[in-house]
Every structure is written in C-alpha cells, then in structure tokens.
Chain A
C-alpha cells in the first residue's frame, strides 16, 4: 500500500504499522545518531535544557479561533453583516459558506440540492483543501477549544490517579460517520445535528444559550472523567469529513527524523497521537514525512518539540524557498 493509503486507513482507524522499507538515507541518519551514544545523550539533554516551552502556535490558533467565532457573534449583535449565519452555514461579505458535514447531512436527508447550497459547499471545500481539512477542527471549531481546556483538567486528574483514561477503538469514528449518513438517508432527518456540539455551541454563542448546552456539558464531563477528548477522537464525523478533504492538502506538519530524539513529547500533547507514530524509533521510512490527513495542524507538537523535528510546511514550497 502507498503511504497515502496507509495514512488514510490510519485516519479511518487502522493501527499504525512499521515501515516495510527504510530508505538508505534514514538508515544512515539513524546509524549516525547512535554511533556516538554519549554525544547523542548530551545533545539531547542540552536541547531539553535550552528549550523554552513555547506557545507560539497555540496562541496564534486560539486567537484565530476566538476571532472567527467572535466575528460571527459581532456580525449579528452589532449588525455589521460581515459574517452572517453560524458555523453550519454562513455568508461572508455576501459569499455563501456552508459547512461540509452539515451540507452532507442535509443533502442525504433532504435528497435535494439547490444552487446556493452547492456553491457554498464548493467554496468551503476548496478552502479546506488548501488549508488542510482538519485545520477546521483546531483553528475554528468552538468545541475544540473548550474540550482542549477541559482536557487539561482530565490530564491533571489522571496525573493524580483520580481517574483513568478509557480508550476506545479509533475506528468507531468511521462507524459513526457511516451510521449518521445512513440515518440521514433512512429517516430523512439530519439526526447528527441534534447532537453536534459544534453546531450547538456556535448557535449558543450567536443566538443565546439554551438547553442544548446541557448536552455539551455532559459530553465534557464524560471527557473529563472517563475518556480523553472522546468526542473528537472517537465520534465526531465532522472531523472525518474534513480529514478526508484535507488528505490532498499542501499544508501539513512535517517530521524530520534527523532532528528527532524519539522521546515522544509530541505524542503526549496530540489529539490524534496515531499520526505521530512516525516519531517512534524505527517508524520513519523517509527523511522528512508529512503527518497525514488526521492531523489537525494545531501546532501543539511543533511547540512542544525541543529540537524542531516537527514543522509547519507547505508541500512544494520549501523547495522553492
């Protein structure tokens, strides 16, 4: 199977695999790294000691996420009519923008597509192909932000051994995606939208809170006390839809094996740690590797890596620069 298929299957839930072939260049790098173990360890400690914990990407991301959602809110409240609607569908300065997963649900349930719906969906499709599908998750989705914050609480409780994290099979998300699509077709209702915390939160911010926030609260409690980031990891079909769209995106996080000490700090902060399997010793087959469609481009791993082995990159552009 090609690397692309492997990554795609990984997103659907397949377990990461060891590479069948490791390029000569990587073999050489690995050899050089371990030839002089002492120097390697010294370098590692040095890098650690001098690594300022940076929040550069996180801060940028939070700023973008908050600004986007605020723009929705202010557009309505102050009537500036710049970004009308909510995250499920909106109009930016008159242009239709329609969330891909919501559009899909509506098309499957209603079995009819009008021109505006098509235009809006297409615009958004192009946008996220460029920006890398799941970038939507970490840079726009309001639920991502709140669950990112409550995740800290969960980790603290795990640290104090008050709760344990219950992992589910990542393939459940694929099952959910298919089931919600099927339910929409069969029932003729956009069943998923009743549960979608993304839509609920977006509407609550813009149009005021309601009972539906109680459901979001329950989800967060489940994540705090039972299973880390459960909604985004194992359930949310929006993430999968955007992941699929972003699979051909030029914007990605790339991994550079030469700079990596294989300590796995990145895997601890990541929402989708399976995409970082390449950072495990012996898992990289090429010198630089893109992380694949399930990565949300949140940049937490970039911030946390002491040696700069992970970077934001635009495919093809680094060669030009």
Chain B
C-alpha cells in the first residue's frame, strides 16, 4: 500500500480537495445506508399494528415463525387447485410475498385432497408436523386428524393435518338465514362471484365456480352442507329470546378454519366468519 517514493511537494494541496471529496462521499454513503435500512424497517409497522391476523394456508407455523421462515416463493400458490392462496403486498411489511387466504373471496375447500400446499413448501413454513421447539399454540392442535367428507369412502379418509389455522364463528347471528328460519334459493353469492368449489357429485377433481351450482333448500344450511370436514359444524336447535325454537349453526372442535362456510354464506356480509389463527376454546 505505502510506496517508498517521496511524495511530490504539491501533494498536500491536492489532498485537501481530495479529502473533502472523500468526506462528502463518505457522508453520502452513510446517508444512503441509513435511508435504505430505515425504509426496510418500515416493514415493522404493518406487522406490529395488524389488527386482524391473516388467515394463513393450512399447516402454517405460528405467525412470527411463519413470517421469518417463508421464503416468499409462492409454490404453495401454484399447487392450489382453487387458487385460494394469495401473496402479501408491500402494505404487509415483512409479510410482502408471504401467502394468506381471503376466505370470503376463495376459501380452501381441500379440493387438492392432500393439503398439497404443505407438500410444496420448501422451507417448512407450512408443515404437517411442527418440530418440537416451535411450540404449538394451545388449542391449535386438533383432537384428531380431520376426516375429509370427500374422502369418507376412501381407505384413508383423514387429512394429514395436525393444527387448525383458525376457527369459524357465527359473528352475525341476526343475519343468519337459518336463525331467521329462512330457506335459500339461487346462487349462494352474487352472479359475479369468482370463487370455486369442489362438488363431489359434480366432479371430484375439477372444482367449479360457486355460481354454477345454485341451491334450493327449505332451511338454509349451506355452511353445514359445504363444510369439507366431517362434524366440524352442525345445525342445532336453540331457543331464541322470544321463546321460539330456531336452528343455528354451531361450530365444533374438528373445525380447521378452512373458511368454506364464510365463503358460501349467502348473507351479505357473511353471518359466519373465520377468526384467523384463533384456537379452540370450549364454549
């Protein structure tokens, strides 16, 4: 680095200018570094201020583990036959590129039969079974592997799934058609609704648009009827305030939080919703 040649006499004069330039460059570089790091930390805002947690795909790790382990590749998006999985955008902060499900728009109805998104995930962000040191939230563990109605006649009717991603809840009992004692006729959602579902009596391997499968039922039981998981939800009688006995959907322990009930509910907004990342609590 150091050369033995004697420095020319004029050099110091040059150096001041050079040193100034170097100083400016250093300050600029430090400014750039500060600005970029500062911007990157803005990612905290959506993460820490998220009021309602996102519904994650089946098998997702606990939220902070999920955000840190997901490599944002979208392979889970690619395998899903009903395109239930969407990737986060910049407004999700550190969740940019991280998958979630908007159940009202398109729920996971397990059309894939095998929880394929878990199979596709290269990082273990979606997993059949969490490694021991990543604790399972209490109430997230399912009492038993859920039985998929679509597979009931198969040799292996259960889904390879250990944890729920949320729990359904009758959020607006007053708008629930069953509670009002009403039937339902027509398309479950508006004609422009793009959501798809698998109807076993139509085609096991090809989900069709919900609008192509109109209903005609004397008492609305769409959420119960279309729930893909056996014994996750049932219509049960309750006595209303007026003393009249009515039917109401009751969510049961096997509910995995897939969101089909929320998607199919003909009330607007949906009477039943998923509490994302919620765990099971005995009522």
Contact surface of A with B, Cβ cutoff 8 Å = 17, 75-76, 84-86, 88-91, 96, 98-99, 102-103, 106, 109-110, 112, 114, 116-117, 120, 166-169, 171-172, 175-176, 179-180, 183, 187-195, 199-200, 203, 206-207, 210-212, 214-215, 230, 234-235
Question: Which chain B residues border A193 with CB–CB below 8 Å?
Answer: 72, 94, 96-97
Residue B202 lies at the interface, judged by CB distance under 8 Å to chain A:
no
Residue of B nearest to A111 (CB): B68
Q: Is the CB of B37 within 8 A of A203?
A: no
Interface set of B (CB-CB < 8 Å, partner A): 1, 25-26, 28-29, 32-33, 36-37, 39-41, 43-44, 47, 64-65, 67-75, 77-79, 87, 89-91, 93-94, 96-97, 120, 122-124, 131, 133-134
A179 touches B33 (CB 8 A): yes
Q: Are B78 and A234 in contact (CB under 8 A)?
A: no
Question: Could you tell me the distance between the alpha carbons of A95 and B120 in the complex, rounded to whole angstroms?
Answer: 12
B71:A98 contact, CB within 8 angstroms: yes
Chain B interface mostly: helix
The winner among B40, B43, B74, B122 for most chain A CB atoms within 10 A is: B122
Q: Does A85 lie within 8 Å of B73, measured CB to CB?
A: yes
For the complex formed, measure the closest distance between the CB of B227 and the CB atoms of chain A, giving whole angstroms: 28
**CB of A208 to closest CB in B, whole Å:** 9
Known: A85-B75, A116-B123, A190-B94. A169 touches B26 (CB 8 A): yes
B122 CB contact (under 8 Å) in A75, A96, A230: A96
Which chain B positions have C-beta within 8 A of A179? 33, 37
Known: A85-B73, A189-B68. A203 touches B87 (CB 8 A): yes
A173 CB to nearest chain B CB (Å) = 10
Q: Is the CB of A195 within 8 A of B39?
A: yes
A35–B116 Cα distance when bound, in Å, is: 73
Q: Give 10 nearest A-B pairs by CB, closest first.
A: A89-B73, A109-B68, A210-B89, A114-B124, A110-B69, A212-B90, A85-B73, A194-B43, A169-B29, A189-B94
A120 to B122, CA, bound (A): 8
Closest residue of A by beta carbon distance from B41: A191
Q: Which of B33, B123, B124, B134 contacts A175 (CB 8 A)?
A: B33
Indicate whether A103 sits within 8 Å of B71 (C-beta atoms), given known contacts A98-B122, A210-B90. Answer: yes
